[in-house]
Each structure stands twice: as C-alpha cells, then as structure tokens.
Structure 1
Amino acid sequence: MVRTSPLTFRKVLGNFFVVFALTVIGSIYTSLFKVYWPLKSDPKIMAFIITFHIFFLLMMLCFFKAMLTDPGVVPPLWGFYMGDSETKRRRYCLMCHVFKPERCHHCSACNRCVLNMDHHCPWINNCVGFYNRKYFLLLLFYVNINTYTVALFLFPQISNELCLLYQTKHMPNSSQTLFLGTYTLNCMLSMTLTIFFKFHLKLALSNSTTIETMDKKAVSKVNYNKGVNKNWEQIFGKNPWLWFLPLTGDSGKPIGDGVVWTVPINIEIDDIPEDELEKRNSSVMNDMNKKKDEESKSKEISTAPDSLGSRTEYTRNFYHPEVKQNSGRIGEKFTDDVLLSPEP
C-alpha cells in the first residue's frame, strides 16, 4: 500500500508561492497585452502576438504539468531481498519506513521519498524528480523565452514613458508606476532565471542532480554520466518531436523507472574516433592471425616422463586469448587480444 503523506506547513505555504507566481505572470502578460493589442491591425504586430501566445501557452502547460505530476514514489514492494548483491547500498528512510533506491531522497516539505529527487521547488509547490523533471526544465526554457520577449518588445514603450516623465518633470501615475515596476520585475526574472536554467541544464546533460552536486561526501559520489545524448534522452525520452512539448507518450517518457540505475564505464566505444578504431582493429587482427599461424606450425605431439617413470603423450597448445568486452578503452591499458567495434 502506498504511504499517504500528511500535509506539512511548507507544503501549505507553497500554495501562496504558486498564487504569487501566477500573479506575477498575469501582471507581465497584461502589460504586454495592453501595449500591443490596440496595434493588432498591423500584420507584423499580429504575427508577434500569435507567436508570443504559442510560447506563453507552452509555458503555462509546463507550469501546471510540473506542479501536478507526481515526481515518483518508491514502489510498495521494492526493497532488499535474499540474493541481492552485498555491495548494494542499503538506505532506509526512518520517516517513510521504506528502503530508498539509488538517487532517492526524503523531502521534508512533501513528507515522502522522491525518486531521483533534484530539489523541492516552492514556486510549483512540488518536488522535481524522475517523472516531472522534463516539465520543470521546459518551464525554465519557456519562461526565459517569454521574459526576454517581453523585455525586448516593451523596451520602446518604456523608453517613451521615461522620456515623457523626464521632460514633463511629473511623477508617474499609478498606471505608469505599475507598468514600470512590472517591466523591471520582468528584467530581473529574465536575468535570474537565465542563470538558474543554465545551472539545471548543465546538471541534466551530466545526468546529475542538485542534491548530488551539493553532497560534500565526494568519495561516495557515483558517476551516472552516460554522455550528452543518452543523458538528454534519459529525461526527455527518445522521440525528438516530443522533446520541447509538455507531453510524454510512450516514446517521450523518461528512460527507466527511477529505481534501478546503471553506472557507465569510463568511456563509451563510440566516443573513440573512427580512425583510431580502425587502426586498433587492424593491428589486433594481424596479431591474432600471426599467432594462429605460429600455433599451427609449432603444435606437436611430445612425450614426457611422469613421476612413476611411465610416459604420457600430451599436446602442447598455445594460449588462445579471449576477446574482452571492456578492454582497450581510453583510460585502460590496451591489450593485443582485444577487438573493438563501434556501437551501432
């Protein structure tokens, strides 16, 4: 049975953060709408209004998807059983009374354990975890697009308002104050969220999380980085058509279940240059063929006395090297008995 989590004070307080965020979004949207909607007869302005509303709609969809999607809960029957590897890290949550999988952490605000937890975001009043991390990253992406758009297209109007106030030596009225304040807030958001988005994008491309980055126990850190492409697909899925949409579908879901994680080797085969692979393969094949020729010539039947004085026939064979799967990579000593091939 899935454990129900009682509401905490931080969870209730998060509702006010959500209302405040929606209020700020509405104020910025109203300021832009008030300036450009009267000019909708101009085809260029109308094209801008339509384009802006497409990105605005995507931003709002990502906001609600990130807020309402369950980031991931520990499966009811998951735990440690007989036969499990002794090297498996046993982590038990004293609050939820469950064993925590890798990269799973307990959130004190949500009062539950979250799979692949990145952090708890008060602005969506939800944790960013395995199943809603895509929506959170897309939310930051579209927020940046919209805030920069507002800053760019409202700049001429802001300049005119400031010049008019300077020439008339008048104090701004309530409408002008709200307009200037909203524009200033929008610019501050754009600069702040740009840094925030850059930070989280870097984490996503390295298959890391905020909690793992802040972990001071560097010795216990595990590298889950599988390369930029696989790290991206880990969060956004394998379907490129769904990468920038707040949708998942069967091919747009994050890869895996958020419980079991694979640790990559030092470097992937396809990270080795193609010409280097050809040289290695050619050298290995030549050495293996040469050894086979020597083996066929030197194989002979010999006799040797044993401890009882009798004679036993035996065949002297040379060692046949096996092809090792993980040898010959960068960072490891390359051996002659390895044949590498790029991944398909």
Structure 2
Amino acid sequence: MKGKRFLSAPVLAVLSSIVFTYYSSIFVFLHDWLNLQSSPGTLNAFIYSLFASLTLFSFFSCLLSDPGHVPSSYAPDVEFAKDNVEQKKCNKCHAYKPPRTHHCRVCRRCILKMDHHCLWINNCVGYWNYKAFFVFVLYATIASIYSMVIFICSVHHQDWDSIKGSSPLWIFYVTYGLLLFILTITLLTLVGWHVYLILHNMTTIEYHEGNRAKWLAMKSGQSYRHPYNMGAYKNITLILGPNMLKWFCPTAVGHLNPKDGVSFPTLRDNS
C-alpha cells in the first residue's frame, strides 16, 4: 500500500527535481565555479550532498509514515465531550473523533491532528509525520538556498558574453535560474509558515478555524485564544521533542503526549 504512494505524478516530480537540481548544482555549476578536484570544490560538494541526502531521507520519511489513524478502541471522555464540539462522530467514518482530528476526503479516513493533505507526498500530514514533513521542508529550503548560491557564484565566474553567444546555453542558464529562484522563494515561504504554526502549536486547519472563531468572538464581545498554545518553547518541544539534538531528525519521535494523538494539553489544564 505504501509503495503505491510513489505512483503519483507530483511525487515523481519532486524526486526528479531533487535529482536534477543535485546533478546540476554539483557537476555543472559547482564544477565550473571551483572545480570538483580542488579542496574547496570537494568540501562544498560534500556539504551540499549532505543536505540533499537529508532532504531525500526526510521526504521518504513523511511519504511512507502513517499520518495517524484513530485507534479502534478510542472512546471519548463523556464529561469533556459535552464542552468540546470536536469530540463527535464523523459523518463518514461513523466513529468518534478525538480532539484535533479531521476527515480527509482523499485518504477517506480520519487523521489525527490533521494539518493538510499534501499532493507532493501523496499522503496526509498529521500527528505522526508532521515533524518529518517540517524537517523535509527545512532541509529542502537549505539545499535550495545552497543551490542558488552555487548558481550565482558560477554565473559570476563564467564569461557571460560567451554564454550569451550560445542560444541553448543562454536559455538553460536563464530557465534554470528562474526556476531555482521560484523554488527557493516558495520553500522559504512554506518553512516560514510552518515555523509560525509550530510556535503557536496549531495546524493549518486550526489556523483557519481560529480566524473564524476570532471573528465570532469579536461579534459577541468576547476574546479567543487558541486552546493548545502553551507558549513558544513548550509548543516546540511538543512537536519536535524535548531533546534539541533530535529536533532535526525526521524519524525521532517528537511527541511528549503519551496518549498517541488522541489527547493534548490545553490552557485549561494549567489553570
């Protein structure tokens, strides 16, 4: 079943982009700039290869990981459920949903702490693979910035007049540079967005739900605060884990919650 996730045009596009960008950065632009046989060229090739490998490993981790399914034995806390509209039966799964759980129309099941369904990994991003997804985006951003630096330095080192004199080479340089710039900006925006979500301990779905809740609260003269926001550092440890040395390892479990994604600490717990 997991192998079928590779049979997707967006997934194959991501893999192709990683391979193409890696080959071009190392064997074309870095070689033209520093020469791979030189010490600086070898060092830069090693560092870039490291980030590219981490990007690929993180990509496979979030693609192959189960985002989180509701345990068959799950039963809601009846007293708590009275005040929590999230703990109700799913209209499609016909089972009680734990807090922060949403039904994915693509996966056709409820996902624990669902953030969104990502077509680029052909999988949902949820409780069990959100950390791997974030780390993948982070490493991809670093690798993309590194690629941009290598490209710019290579172009600066080249004889620009000779490049303009060759139409195929000119088209390749311009097209590659434009695509790399768009990719880098996109990834920077995406990683910035998820840093914001982590600092506030919310998902993309909860962000949009929170905006509506704020609007409704303002209409009634009340205030709204995201119930799972425990403070920046606590939020980070709840998602990436208590050990800082493992924050950027996609396979290291980051959750402090012992109930496997069906219960989460809230502001009310601390009051």
TM-score computed with the length of structure 2 as normaliser: 0.84
Say which of 237, 241, 260 aligns to 1:237: 241
Does the 8 Å CA contact 1:31/1:182 hold for their aligned counterparts?
no
Alpha-carbon distance, 1:235 to partner: 1.0
* Structure 2: distance between partners of 1:43 and 1:13: 38
Say which of 184, 189, 210 aligns to 1:190: 184
**Is 2:38 aligned against 1:23?**
no
* Structure 2: distance between partners of 1:24 and 1:161: 27
Query: Does the C-alpha gap of structure 1 residues 12 and 44 become closer, same or farther in structure 2, counting only changes over 3 Å?
Result: closer
* Structure 1: distance between partners of 2:154 and 2:79: 70
Alpha-carbon distance, 1:201 to partner: 0.7
Q: Secondary structure at the match of 1:154?
A: helix
Q: Secondary structure at the match of 2:117?
A: strand
Q: Secondary structure at the match of 1:99?
A: coil
- In the alignment, what sits opposite 1:131? 128
* Structure 2: distance between partners of 1:158 and 1:106: 48
In the alignment, residue 48 of structure 2 is paired with which amino acid? Answer: F
Alpha-carbon distance, 1:205 to partner: 0.9
* Structure 1: distance between partners of 2:195 and 2:181: 21
**Is 2:84 aligned against 1:100?**
no
Say which of 209, 226, 238 aligns to 2:230: 226
Say which of 152, 167, 173 aligns to 1:172: 167
Query: Does the C-alpha gap of structure 1 residues 227 and 122 become closer, same or farther in structure 2, counting only changes over 3 Å?
Result: same
* Structure 2: distance between partners of 1:54 and 1:195: 23
Deviation string 1:272-328 (CA, Å, 9 cap, x unpaired) is: xxxxxxxxxxxxxxxxxxxxxxxxxxxxxxxxxxxxxxxxxxxxxxxxxxxxxx5xx
Deviation string 1:159-217 (CA, Å, 9 cap, x unpaired) is: 43643244xxx4522x5534442232111110111111111110111001110111224
**Is 2:263 aligned against 1:260?**
yes
Q: Secondary structure at the match of 2:267?
A: coil
**More displaced stretch, 234-243 vs 89-98:** 89-98
Does the 8 Å CA contact 2:5/2:63 hold for their aligned counterparts?
no
Does the 8 Å CA contact 1:115/1:129 hold for their aligned counterparts?
yes
Correspondence 1:63-142 to 2 at 5 A: 63-80=59-76, 86-89=82-85, 90-142=87-139
Alpha-carbon distance, 1:13 to partner: 10
Alpha-carbon distance, 1:145 to partner: 0.6
Query: Does the C-alpha gap of structure 1 residues 52 and 81 become closer, same or farther in structure 2, counting only changes over 3 Å?
Result: closer
Deviation string 1:85-136 (CA, Å, 9 cap, x unpaired) is: 5324332112111111111001111111100011111111111111111111
Q: Which has the higher helix share?
A: 2
Q: Secondary structure at the match of 2:103?
A: strand
Does the 8 Å CA contact 1:212/1:221 hold for their aligned counterparts?
no
Say which structure, 1 or 2, has more relative contact order (CA 8 Å, 6+ apart). 2
Higher Cα Rg, which structure:
1
In the alignment, residue 188 of structure 1 is paired with which amino acid? Answer: I
Q: Secondary structure at the match of 2:167?
A: coil
* Structure 2: distance between partners of 1:84 and 1:193: 39
* Structure 2: distance between partners of 1:16 and 1:67: 14
- In the alignment, what sits opposite 1:302? none
Query: Does the C-alpha gap of structure 1 residues 243 and 13 become closer, same or farther in structure 2, counting only changes over 3 Å?
Result: closer
- In the alignment, what sits opposite 2:221? none
What is the RMSD computed on CA atoms of the aligned residues? 2.6
Alpha-carbon distance, 1:253 to partner: 3.2
* Structure 1: distance between partners of 2:61 and 2:5: 19
* Structure 2: distance between partners of 1:140 and 1:88: 33
Structure 1 residue runs of 5 or longer lacking an equivalent are 5-10, 269-325, 327-344
Query: Does the C-alpha gap of structure 1 residues 196 and 85 become closer, same or farther in structure 2, counting only changes over 3 Å?
Result: closer
**More displaced stretch, 118-127 vs 152-161:** 152-161
In the alignment, residue 163 of structure 1 is paired with which amino acid? Answer: D
TM-score computed with the length of structure 1 as normaliser: 0.67
Overall identity of the aligned pairs, in %: 29
Q: How many correspondences in the alignment?
A: 252
Alpha-carbon distance, 1:158 to partner: 2.8
